[in-house]
Amino acid sequence: MPTFAIEISINSIQQSPEAFVEPVSVGATLPDMPLFLTPETYVPVPLEATYRSAWETLPAYWRERLTMA
């Protein structure tokens, strides 16, 4: 998978002014984040596992194009 020295953030925002912010680097392991269904109810989303599953099912043609430097 491609890695870059870029800082990004992953955000999960409720309707209220509360937010969950996780700073990560591109190429770092993604954290699980809450996905709010209501202001009080959320489900944890396994971002890293979801990303890896999607990456592994991507056709080799596209994986090669996305990893070209």
In sequence order, the 6+-apart residues with CB closer than 8 A to the CB of 18 are: none
pLDDT of residue 29: 92
3-class SS of residue 55: helix
Q: State if pTM tops 0.95.
A: no
Q: What is the pLDDT along the chain (69 residues), one digit of tens a residue?
A: 555 567 778 888 776 777 788 888 888 899 999 998 888 889 999 999 999 999 999 999 999 998 885
Q: Judge contact between 12 and 33, C-beta under 8 A.
A: yes
Longest dimension (CA), the chain: 43
